Structure formats: C-alpha cells, structure tokens
Amino acid sequence: MKSQATLKKIAEHLNLSISTVSRALKDHPDVAGETIRRVKDLANLLNYEPNAFAVNLRQKHSNIYAIIVPELAGFFYNSFIDAVEEEAQQRGYNIMVLQTREDPAIEENNLKLCRYNHVAGIFVAITRYTNDFTPFLKTMDTEIPIVFFDKVPEESGFPSVSIADEEMGALAAEKILKSGKSKVLAILGNQALSITHRREAGFKSVTEKNTHISLSCAYCENETQAFDTIMKMPAESLKDLAVFCMSDELLCGVMQGFYERKVSIPGDVGVLAMSNGFFPRLFNPPISYVETSGYQLGKLSFTCMVDLIGGVEYLSEVMLRGGYIENSSL
C-alpha cells in the first residue's frame, strides 16, 4: 500500500510549505519551535523517511563508500571491511561491498556502478590480472576519490595503502633462518603480481646473504597448486626443510600436502606463513606467522580516504608493518 510519505504530503496536512517542512526536520533555526514540533510529530506518525534518490540528486553525491575486492572468501578482506565500516558508521556513511572474482571485466563494471551511483569514495584491491588502469582514471575524473589497498598498482602515483611487503618478507626470512634448517622452500603467489615481487624480494634479500642455505621457489596460482607442489616433492627433500608461504591460501594447500604425506612439523619441516592470523591457529601444530593485519590496513585506508577528500595533494603511498607471531611450527 502506502504511498510513501513525502515532504509535500506533510506540508499539505499542516498547511505549510514544503520548504518549511524540510527545514523543520533538520532543526533549521529559521523555523519556529512550535512548528518544528508539529512537523516532527506528523513525520513520525506517517513514518516519513527521506527519499535518498532525491536527496542525492540534489546534493550530487551519496553517503555510501564502496569497497571492491577480488574475493570475499578468506579472512583478510573481512577484517579490512570491518575496520572501514566502523569508521564509516561513525560518520554516518555506509558501506557497499563489491567483488570482482579476479575478473578485470567485472572490476570495470563495478567501477561503473560506483560512478553511476556517485559513491562518496572507493576502496579497491585490484585483481591479479588488472593491468589497464583507464577505468580507474575515468572514475577519478568524476571526482570520486579512490584509495588502493593491499593489491595496489605496481606503478606508483596512486594513493595506496599496503603491507610493507618487502620488510615483512625480510622478517619472515630472518625467522626462517633462525630455525636452522638447511633447505628453504618459498611458496609464492602469481608471478605477475607486484605483491609477489615485493615479498619475494624482501625474502631473498635476506636469504641471499646466507650462502650456506639452499633456497628454492615455487610460484603457485592457488591452493591446489600449492598442494600439488608439496605432493610432488621427493621424500628426501622433506627433511631439514623450512617452508615459507606468502599467503593463507597457499598455506592451506601446503598443509594439506604435509598432512597427506605425514611429515612431522616442526621436526622434519618447519612452516612459516604471512597471514592475518585466522588460519594459522587451525592447523596442528599452529603455524607461526608474520602478521598482516587487514583491520589495521582498513583503519589506515580510511584516514587516507579522509585526507584525499580533504584535498591532500601529495599522493601518499602508505605502508603498514606487522610483527611476528610465534607458534610451534618452526
């Protein structure tokens, strides 16, 4: 039923003008206290709720921030979203989450949706296949501020917030060396991704200094490939080995492989991951990890967004550091 209540209807009921009603509802000093009361009472009675379309059309922007991520699955982005949502709520903004499924075409479509809806701002972690940034430039042209996070464009110049991947990679390598294993295997992600480059570079910067250990690397697109990598390893190499997994997804694959092959951790093989902290606890033994906090990344990204909207000109590329959480896998 219920043709929605509008300012117009309230105005007619009360023999007031639309403008007065509008102002009354926002406690504008120009309108008499008595009138404000009457208007608000009736508005309540009629369940009046402003029409966002009209409001936004008038003010030319909405109070919604968009977060675009490759995948919702996993726990990293969720904590990021939590953080951003907290900040947004406080300021009366809302969050809309979009996922790209690692598909640049969907990513482009999502950006379009954001433009179409004039969102207040966009937080985006790009897909692993994104290399054409014109859709982003096009969006920025419409004055919609964009903050890249986690998966950020390789070439700089965009406002971005990410993990200090090199440093964290180096930290991981140091811990791995301390384990005293003679062989090291690094399970890395897609080679096309800059995040892989950076973590790898950091990791190698440390291992290369120690010539007595032998390092091998495997690049895995996903959990299954990580699993296969472990399954295909000759048995003798599964001794005196330390494995570094640069992501949760890879860790999951690796651990399934180790379970399957019944290797003893940390006796024969030591394991260290980079993670948000959710998955490492699930394994037996719990996995030691270098922490990459999505939550903190979210908080940081939000302040970056606020800066951007405030007109800060220097395009900052912020880096976030995390610590080492020791469990019993190394």
The three state secondary structure string of 157-184 is CCCEEEECHHHHHHHHHHHHHHCCCCEE
> Residue 35: which of its own copies, DNA, none does it interact with, CB under 5 to 8 A by kind?
DNA
Stretch that binds its own copies, among 49-57, 152-160, 232-240, 311-319 (CB under 8 A): 49-57
Measure CA of the first residue to CA of the last residue in the chain; give whole Å.
65
Sign of the Cα torsion 189, 194, 199, 203 reads: positive
Q: State the Cα–Cα distance between residues 225 and 85, nearest whole angstrom.
A: 34
| CA distances (Å), origin 154, targets 128, 134, 158 | 11, 14, 10
List CB contacts of 208: < 8 A, sequence separation 6 or more. 215
Binding residue (CB under 8 A) for its own copies from 12, 41, 143, 326: 143
Q: Which residue has the tokens 């640049």?
A: 104
Site string for its own copies, 265-284 (x = CB under 8 A): -------------xx-xxxx
Q: Say whether residue 328 binds DNA (CB under 7 A).
A: no
Stretch that binds its own copies, among 43-51, 173-181, 295-303, 306-314 (CB under 8 A): 43-51
Note whether 168 and 290 are within 8 A (CB). Answer: yes
Q: Which of residues 74-133 bind DNA (CB under 7 A)?
A: none
> Residue 23: which of its own copies, DNA, none does it interact with, CB under 5 to 8 A by kind?
DNA
Q: Say whether residue 309 binds its own copies (CB under 8 A).
A: no
Q: For binding to its own copies (CB under 8 A), which residues are involved?
A: 1-2, 4, 47, 49-54, 56-57, 62, 71-73, 75, 78-79, 81-82, 85, 89, 94-99, 101, 106, 112-113, 115-118, 138, 141-143, 252, 255-256, 259, 278-279, 281-285
